[in-house]
Structure 1
Amino acid sequence: MAPTTQERIVVLGAGYTGLAAAKLAARWTGAEVTLVNRYDRFVERVRLHQLATGQPLRDRPLTGLLEGTGVRLVVDRVTRIDAGARTVRTEGGHDLAYDHLIYALGSQADLDSVPGAAEHAFTVADLDQALELAERLGESRVVAVAGGGLTGIEAAAELAEARPELKVRLLTGGTLGSGLSERGRRYLARALRRLGIDVRENARVAEVRADGLVLDGGEHVAADTVVWTAGFTVPGIAREAGFAVDANGRLVVDATMRSVSHPEVLGIGDAAALHRPDGQELRMACATGMPTAQRAVRSLADRLAGREPKPLRFRYLNQCISLGRRDGLIQFVRADDSPVEAVLTGRLAAHYKETIVRSAFLFQRHPGIPVG
C-alpha cells in the first residue's frame, strides 16, 4: 500500500545522487518530497575543470529538471539537523520537518589539512571556486595542481590543453597513476609529457603560499596560482546531528543505505560510507553514487510498502580519465576496482568518457534507467 500524503521525505543536496533520489522518491513512494540545495542549478561537477579553463557549460535549472515530478524545491544552504525533532534548518530560516531524510550533501575539497590552502588555493570541486579560478587564470603564468588523483590529473590536462600559454605543474604525494595498470601508467605519463606538464612525484606539500607551494623538505615550488585537489572531506552536519559517522565524518549506513544509528535516515553519494558485500568501501564517484541512489530509494519504497528491501550489490567496471577534450584513458578494472592490463586510450577514450559524463546527466532526467 502506498504511503499517505502525510509521509514527508526531505532530500538534502541536488547533486548526482540527491536530485535523482528526490525524483525517484516522488515516483516510487507517493510521499511529499522536498529537495534542499544551495544552488538553483544542477552543477555538473565532473565538468568543473572545464569551467575553470573558461569553457562554457550548459545551464541546468533545477526547476526544469523537477518539472512535473511534484518535488518541492528549496534553494538554501542546510545549517543543521535536529535528529530528535526530525527537522532540517537552513541558512534562510526554513524549518523542514521530515519522516524520512535522504542525506546527499556530497563532498568538498579538503582545504584544512595543509596550512595556507584555504587562503591561497583554488579548487575544481565547487561552482563558485571554479568560476573564481577561471578569472584568476587570466593573470597567471604558472599553475601548480596539488594532488595526483583522478581529479588532479584531469584538471592539469584540461588546463594545459585549453590554456597553452600557462606553465602547468602537477605534484603528487606518491606515484602518479598508482591505481592504474602498467600500460595505463605509461600512457598517462606520455600524455602529460605531450601536454608539457611538469610532473613531480613523491612531493608532499607542507604549506600553500601566495607565491606557490612549500614541500616537506622546505623546497619552494613557484606558482602564480595553486589548484588544490589533494583530498576531499564531507560536511560536518551529520556528525553534529548525532548520526553515526566514520573517522572521516561520512554517514555510516547498512547494506540498504540506512543509517545504523537513525533508521529514518538514508545516506547516499560522497557523504555516506558505502560498502560492497565484501566490506570494501566504495570510492567517491558518480559511478558509485547513481546506482546506490536508486537502491536506497527502492529500499525506502519497499519498507513503506511493507516489503523487505534487497541489499546493495555493486561491482566496478572501469576508471574514466579525461586528458583534455581530445585524449583520454579508460582503465578497465576487476569487480573490486583493481586494474587489469586492458586500457582504452586516445580520441576513442575521450569519446567514451564524454559519453559517460553525458549519461550521468541523462540519469538526472530519467533516474529510473538501469545504471548498475
Structure 2
Amino acid sequence: MRLVIIGAGFAGMYAALSAARLRDIQGVSPEELEIALVAPQPTLVVRPRLYEPKPETLTAPLLDIFNAIDVVYVQGSAEAIDTKARTVQIVTARDARKTLPYDRLVVATGSRLFRPNVPGLAEHGFSVDSLEDAVALDRHLHGLARQPASAARDTVVVAGGGFTGIEAATEMPARLRDILGKDAKPRVVIVDRGAAIAHDMSADARPVIEDAMRKLGVEGRFGAGVAEISKSGVTLSSGEHIEAATVVWSAGLRAAPLTQQVPAERDSFGRLLVDRELRVPSVAGVFATGDAARAACDDVGNYALMSCQHATRMGAFAGNNAAAELLGVPTRPYHQKVYVTCLDLGEAGALFTRGWERKVELVGDVAKKTKREINTVWIYPPRAERAAALAAADPERVVDL
C-alpha cells in the first residue's frame, strides 16, 4: 500500500508525520504501508515570517525528520493527478517524468498569491508570498541604498491591508532605516479597497493596529485600489499617484493550481470542499488539507483559514485519516476550536487576540514576546528524533498559547 502526500509545507509535513505516527501505533512496517511525500525540496519554507529581513534564512530542513520516521521523500514537482488511475505525474529537477501510483492521496499543495491583471504588476510588483519573492524584495530594498535619495526611493506602497500587508508594512520602516541609514525618513503607505484597515478584525483590535500605524508613520489609503504600477510609482483608482520605487502586493491568496486537476467542487478561493474527515467526497481515495481545502473547524459555522495555524492541525488529521482508511481503523473528524491571532506590528510591538471574535488579550511588547516565540519555536518542525517527531503529530494534540 502507498500513501502519497503532495507538498512539504505545514500541512504536508504534518500529514506525513501523522500518517507515520498511526502506522507506528498499529505496528505496521514501512514496507507494508509506504508513505511518500513529493516536493521540489525537502525543506519547510517558514512562510509566515517572509515579511522579515534576511528571508533566505527562513527555512527548515526536513530530510532528517523524514528519515527518522521512515517517510520516503520523492524530489520533484507534481504536474498531474489522475484520480481514476490513482497516479501522480512528477517532473524531476532534470525535467524527467515519472509516475507514482497511490492507494490514498493527500493534496497539501498550499496556496499562491492572487495576482490580478493590474497593469505593471508583473513587471514592477514585489511580494512576500514565496521564498524566491521575499529574497527578490530584500535584494531590491538593499539596492535602494545605491540610488540617490528621492521621494520615490524612500517610499514603499503595500497593496492589501490584511494580515500579511500589515506585517510587511509595519516592519518596513525599520528595514528601510537599516538599509538607508538611521537618518532616513521612509514613507510607507497601505492601500486597500476596504473602508478601514484589517476589516476582518474586531472593533477593539482595529484601533490597536491604527495606533501602531500612527506611531510608525505608516499611512493608509482606504476605499481605493491600485489601478496601475509603473517604475515611478502607483496610480490609485481614486486618481492619486504615489511616487514609489517599491510596491509590495499582498492582496489575497488562492489555492495552488494543481487542485484544479481533482474533479470536485471548490470554493471561490479554489479550495477543494472536504468533509469533516478531510476527504474530497466525490473522489475516492483523495484527501485535501491546508490551504488546498475548505474545511469546517466546528459545528457552528467557522471554517479553516489559509494560515499555518490551521494547516498544521489539518495536516495532522488528513495524514492520520488517509492512513487509517488503508489500515482499516477508525478515522477522526477534524476539529479546531482554539483560534488565536498574533499580528506583528514592527517596532510598535504586536497584537494578540483569542477566539473567532478576536478578543484582544495582549498588545505592545508583551504581545511581541509571544509573537517571537510563535515565529521562532512553535511553527518550526519538531526535532529529527522519531518519538518526538511522531508525538508532535498527534491530531488531538492542542498547543494552547
Separation (CA, whole Å) in 2 of partners of 1:54 and 1:306? 46
The 5 Å alignment of 1:132-211 reads: 132-138=136-142, 139=144, 140-164=153-177, 165=184, 166-174=186-194, 175-211=196-232
Distance in 2 between residues matched to 1:362 and 1:95, nearest whole Å: 29
- How far did 1:109 drift? 0.7
1:3 aligned residue: none
Contact 2:17 2:319 in 1 (8 A): no
Letter in 2 for 1:153: I
**Alignment partner, residue 28 of structure 1:** 22
Q: TM-score, normalised by structure 2?
A: 0.83
Question: What's 1:225 paired with?
Answer: 246
- 1:356 to partner: Cα distance: 2.1
1:315 aligns with 2:333: no
Unpaired runs of 5+ residues, structure 1, are: 1-6
For residues 215-249 of structure 1, the C-alpha deviation after alignment (integer angstroms, 9 at most, x for no partner) is 22332222111111001112222223423323332
TM-score (structure 1 length as normaliser)? 0.90
How far apart, in 1, do the equivalents of 2:69 and 2:18 lie?
9
Q: What is the Cα deviation at residue 332 of structure 1?
A: 2.3
Equivalent positions of 1:295-306 (< 5 A) are 295-306=317-328
Aligned residues: 360
The 2-side partners of 1:210 and 1:80 are apart by 37
Structure 1 residue 94: Cα displacement: 2.7
- 1:4 corresponds in structure 2 to none
Distance 2:236 2:5 in 1: 41
Which residue identity lines up with residue 50 of structure 2 in the other structure?
L
Match of 1:83 in 2: 83
State the 1:39 CA deviation.
2.8
Task: Give, in angstroms, the shift of residue 255 of structure 1.
Answer: 0.7
SS in 2 for 1:181: coil
Aligned: 1:117 with 2:121: yes
Pair 1:350–1:56, CA change in 2 (3 A):
farther
Partner of 2:149: none
Query: Which range moves more in the overlay, 66-75 or 248-257?
Result: 66-75
Q: 1:251 to 1:181 in 2, by over 3 A?
A: closer
**SS in structure 2 of the partner of residue 67 of structure 1:** helix
Contact persistence 2:104–2:326 (CA under 8 A): no
RMSD of aligned residue pairs (Cα, Å): 2.1
For the 8 Å contact 1:181–1:331, the answer to whether it is kept is no
Q: Provide the C-alpha distance between the structure 2 equivalents of 1:207 and 1:113, rounded to a whole number of angstroms.
A: 10
Identify unmatched segments of 5+ residues in structure 2.
Answer: 145-152, 178-183
Structure 1 CA distance, aligned partners of 2:14 and 2:257? 23
- Report the equivalent of 2:98: 94
- Deviation at residue 324 of structure 1 after TM alignment: 2.1
Give per-residue Cα distances to partners, 1:131-174, cap 9 Å, x unaligned.
00001112242211100000100011111222224322111221
Aligned 8 A contact 1:107 1:232 in 2: yes
With over 3 angstroms needed to count, the CA separation of the structure-2 counterparts of 1:301 and 1:67, relative to structure 1, is: closer
Cα distance in 2, alignment partners of residues 56 and 106 from structure 1: 20
Moved runs in structure 1, 4+ residues, more than 4 A?
A: 362-365
Using the alignment, how far apart are the partners of 1:131 and 1:122 within structure 2? Answer: 10
Q: CA deviation at 1:58?
A: 5.2
* % identical aligned pairs: 32
Q: Kindly name which structure, 1 or 2, has the bigger radius of gyration based on alpha carbons.
A: 2
What is the aligned counterpart of 1:38 among 37, 40, 46?
Answer: 40
